[in-house]
A and B are shown apart, each in its own frame.
Chain A
C-alpha cells in the first residue's frame, strides 16, 4: 500500500512571512508615528502621553495580528492533514477501483507487488494469487528481454511496450503497456498500466487490408492520382495519371518532379504544391498544362497534404474547356445577333411578359420596345394559336421539353396578321430555377404566302393530273436523280414511295420502246434536243399502256423536265375511230362503186332501150310516110288522117324516149363545172324556141343574171325546160308575161326564178310537180311527157341546189332554183 510523504514547504513560508510582516509593520509604525508627532509639535507632557498610547497601540495591534496568524496557521495544518488523508483514500480508490489494469512490480525480481481489482479480473487470479506471481510468468517474452526492458523502464528511457500476456486460463492476449518507475519510500517500483489491444490489432489488420484495397482503387480511378514526397520525388502514380502526364509512370516513379518537367518551377501549380508541402495547405484549381511537345491540356487539380507529402488529384477537362470556349464564342455572336441581327429576339418571363426585345422583333410586330414591355405574348398572338402555344410553353418552363419550335400567326399593332417562325428555349440559374424564356422570331409571311399559293397550285395541278392522266417529271443530268409527280406514279401503277431514278423509269418501257426512249434521253442530255414521243410502257402490274412523253432540256439548271400522259384510252378510241372510218370509207367506196355500176348499167340499159326503141319507131314513121305518098293517088281523105295519127303517135313516143334518156343520163354523168354566162344562154334558148313563140304575144322581162360555175349542158337543160314550160303554160293567155331573174338571199347561194302568168297550179299539188311522169294537166290541154321538171330537180340537186314552185291556179306559177355561189 502507498504512503506518500510530501515536503511541508508551505509552513516554512508562513513563518517567514509572519516574521517579515512583523518587522515591516514595526519599522513603519515607528517611522510614521514619530513623523506624525513631529508635525503636530505637541508639548512634552502631551508627547509623553502620546508615546505611551503609541506603544500600547502597537503592542495591541501586533498581539491581535500574532493571534490571528497563529490561529489561521493552526487551522490550516488541520485542514491539510484531513486533505492528505482524503487524497490517500482517493488514490487508493483510484488504484483499486480503476477499470484499467494496473500492476506494481519489482524491477529486479519481477515480482508483482500490488495489483488492482481490474488486474485480478483481467488475468483471472484472486488478489493473494496475483501477488504471488512474477512478471516472467505473465509476459510471454523471454526473461532476459524482460529484464532489460525493466531496466530501461527504471532508467526512464522507455515508457511504452507491446507484449503478449498469458492469462490464468492460458489464453494469450496482445497488450499495450504504459509504464514507468515509481518511488515508494526508499523503494523504486515499476508501475504498469496494461491495455488489451487484441481487438485493435485485428482491426488494424483489417485497416491495413483496406488500405491496400484503396490503393488498388486509386490505381483504377479515372482521375489521375499522384503522390509527391517531401523530397519532391514521385511516390505514387495511378494509371490515369500516366494518361494525363502523357508519359509512362515508370519513367517518373522515384524521380524528382522538377527534373521531369523542366521549367515547372515558374508555374502556379509548382507554387501550390510547394505551399502544400511546406505549410500543409490544400488547394483546388483549374490549370492549363503545357506539355513539352507544346500541346495544351486543361486539368482540374486538387492538391492535398498527406503524411507522405502531397496528393494530387487530376481530372482532364480539356473537352469541357473547349465547349466553354465555344459557348463563349457563341454567346458573343449571340450578343451581336441580339442587337443587330435580322431575327426578332425576345425575352419573356414566366408570366409571358416581354422583358427585353430587340429592334428586329419591334419591326416585325410594329410596336416600340416600350409598348411591348407592357404586353404579354398572348397579346400579340393570333387567338387560334394560343391554345397550341400555352401548353407547350408550360412544358418548356417545366423542363419537359428543351425547345419549342412553331410557325405561328402574330397580330401586328396595325391589326395585320403575319406569320412568324418561333424558336423558344428556357434559361435557368445554377439551382435550376426558371429565369426567362428566350425566343427567336423570324417573319416568314412572304414564305407562307408563297407556300399557300404553291399549295393551291399544287392542288390544282394534282386535280388536273388526275383528270388528264398527265404528270410531270424531271431529272438531274449529273446525278440521274429523278422526280415524278403523283400521277406519274399512278400511271406506272407503283406506290408513291417507289424508289425510282432514270434507269428505273426507262426499264418500264416496253422492249420496242426502250431503245427509242434511251436514244431520246441521250440526245436530250448530250445535244439538248427536246423529244416528243408516243411510246408503250409495261406498268408494275404488267399492264401495257400507251404514253405520251415530252422532254425538254434545261441545261442551265442541269436538268431535263417534261410531261407524261397516259394516252391508252385516247389511242384506243382513236384506233376505233380509225377502224370505223376505214370500214366506213370502204363501205362508201363499195356503195359508190355499186351505185356507179348500177348507174352505168342503167345508163347502158336506157341507152340501148332508147336506141333500140327508136329504130322501130323510126321505121314506123319512115314507112308510114312512104305509104302515105303511095296512097295519095287514091284520093281517099281518110288515108291522110290515119297516116297522120300514126306519125303523131310515133313522134310522141320519140319525144318520150328522148326525155327519158336525158333524165337517166343527166342524173348520173359526171359534172363538168365551168364558169357560165347565163344571159347569153337564155338568149340562145329563146331564139331556138322561135317556132313556138311565133304568133304569140309574150312580154319578156329578163334581168341581167350573174355568171355561175356549173355544168353547161345540164344547166342549159334546166333553163330550157323552165322557159319552154313557161311558154307552153301561157299559150292560152292572150297576153303572156314571162319574167326571168334572181335574188341574192345569202352569201352561199343565188336563187333564180322563172315566173309566168300562165295556167298555174294549186299549191296543194306543189310537191307532185317534180315527180317523174307527174302531170297536172291533160295532154290535150298541154303537151308534155311529165319528165321535164323531174330532170330539172335532178340536175339542180346534183349542183347542191334546191328547187321549189309557187303557183295560183289560172294565174301563173313561179319556179325557183338555187345554185351555190
Chain B
C-alpha cells in the first residue's frame, strides 16, 4: 500500500476540514495532515516549510487539496502566487476540491493553470483519497 508523508488541506470550512481529515486518516495512506483556512495562510505555510529549521512544525506537503471559494485569498489568487514559488516550496501534486461543478468561465480559467493536477468533488472519502494517492504517487 502506498503511503505519502503529508497532505495540506486549504479550506475555510472547518467542518469540511474535520470531515476530510477523518477520511484521510481512515484511508491510512498519509502520515501527517496539516490544515490552513485561506490562501494567505497556505502561502505562509509553504514559505516556512522551505526552511529546514521548521521541518518538524511545517513539513513540505506531498499533496494539496485546495478549495476555491475562500475568504481573504481565494483559490485562484492563491494559485497565481503558488506558481511563482520556488520548486522547493511546492507540493508534488495539487488537487482542487469543488462543492458544485465549475461554471464555464472558471472551468476555462482552471484548465489554463498548470499547477492543478486534478479536480474532485466534496466531500472527500477515504476511498477517494486512496484512489488519488494510488494514481499520482509511485512510492
Binding site for B on A (CB under 8 A): 603, 607-608, 610-611, 614-615, 618-619, 621-623, 626, 661, 665, 669-670
Contact = CB atoms under 8 A, between A and B. Distances in A.
Contacts of B122: 614-615, 618
Question: Chain B, interface size: which category?
Answer: 10 to 19
A661 B100 CA distance: 9
B104 interface: yes
A610 B98 CA distance: 12
Contact of A611 (B15, B19, B22, B100): B100
B13 A615 contact: yes
B112 interface: no
A38 to B, nearest CB: 208
Contacts of A607: 100, 103
A614 B100 contact: yes
A669 B19 contact: no
18 contacts: A607-B100, A608-B69, A610-B100, A611-B99, A611-B100, A614-B100, A614-B122, A615-B13, A615-B15, A615-B99, A618-B19, A619-B15, A619-B16, A619-B19, A626-B22, A665-B103, A669-B103, A670-B104
A84 to B, nearest CB: 188
A611 B19 CA distance: 17
Interface string B121-139: 0110000000000000000
Contacts of B104: 669-670
B103 A615 contact: no
B91 to A, nearest CB: 24
B100 A618 contact: no
Question: Which residue of A615, A621, A670 has the most chain B CB atoms within 10 A of its CB atom?
Answer: A615
A622 B13 contact: no
Contacts of A619: 15-16, 19
Contacts of A670: 104
B35 to A, nearest CB: 16
Contacts of A615: 13, 15-16, 99, 122
Contacts of B123: 618, 621-622
Q: What are the 10 A-B residue pairs with the smallest beta carbon separation, nearest first? A: A619-B15, A622-B19, A614-B99, A618-B123, A611-B99, A611-B100, A610-B100, A622-B123, A615-B13, A618-B122
Contacts of B99: 611, 614-615, 618
Contacts of A608: 69
Given A607-B100, A607-B103, A615-B15, 18 more contacts: A603-B103, A608-B69, A610-B100, A611-B69, A611-B99, A614-B100, A615-B16, A615-B99, A615-B122, A618-B19, A619-B15, A619-B16, A621-B123, A622-B123, A623-B15, A623-B19, A626-B22, A661-B100
Contacts of B22: 626
Nearest to B105: A669
A34 B42 CA distance: 231
Interface string B82-118: 0000000000000000011001100000000000000
A619 B19 CA distance: 8
B125 to A, nearest CB: 9
Contacts of A603: 103
A496 B104 CA distance: 73
B103 A618 contact: no
Contacts of B19: 618-619, 622-623, 626
A700 to B, nearest CB: 29
A622 B23 CA distance: 10
Contacts of A669: 103-104
Contacts of B15: 615, 619, 623
A603 B69 CA distance: 15
A614 B100 CA distance: 8
Nearest to A606: B100
B113 to A, nearest CB: 20
Contacts of B16: 615, 618-619
A619 B22 CA distance: 13
A618 B104 CA distance: 24
B67 to A, nearest CB: 10
A607 B69 CA distance: 11
A618 to B, nearest CB: 5
Nearest to A619: B15
A618 B97 CA distance: 13
Contacts of B103: 603, 607, 665, 669
B27 to A, nearest CB: 15
Contacts of B69: 608, 611
A626 B69 CA distance: 25
Interface string B66-78: 0001000000000
A610 B16 CA distance: 16
A615 B99 CA distance: 7
Nearest to B16: A615
A88 B139 CA distance: 218
A98 B100 CA distance: 183
Nearest to A658: B100
Contacts of A622: 19, 123
A626 B15 CA distance: 13
A232 B60 CA distance: 168
Contacts of A614: 99-100, 122
Interface in B17-58: 19, 22
Nearest to B106: A607
A615 B67 CA distance: 12
A622 B99 CA distance: 14
A602 to B, nearest CB: 12
B103 to A, nearest CB: 7
B97 to A, nearest CB: 11
A661 B99 CA distance: 12
B94 to A, nearest CB: 21
A689 B111 CA distance: 29
A97 B134 CA distance: 204
Nearest to A621: B123
A456 B22 CA distance: 104
Contacts of A626: 19, 22
B45 to A, nearest CB: 23
A661 B69 CA distance: 17
Contacts of B100: 607, 610-611, 614, 661
Contacts of A618: 16, 19, 99, 122-123
A626 B26 CA distance: 12
Nearest to A618: B123
Contacts of A610: 100
Question: Which residue of B13, B22, B100, B103 has the most chain A CB atoms within 10 A of its CB atom?
Answer: B100
A643 to B, nearest CB: 16
B98 to A, nearest CB: 9
A506 B91 CA distance: 85
B19 to A, nearest CB: 5
Contacts of A611: 69, 99-100
A123 B100 CA distance: 182
A33 B103 CA distance: 209
Nearest to B11: A615
A502 to B, nearest CB: 67
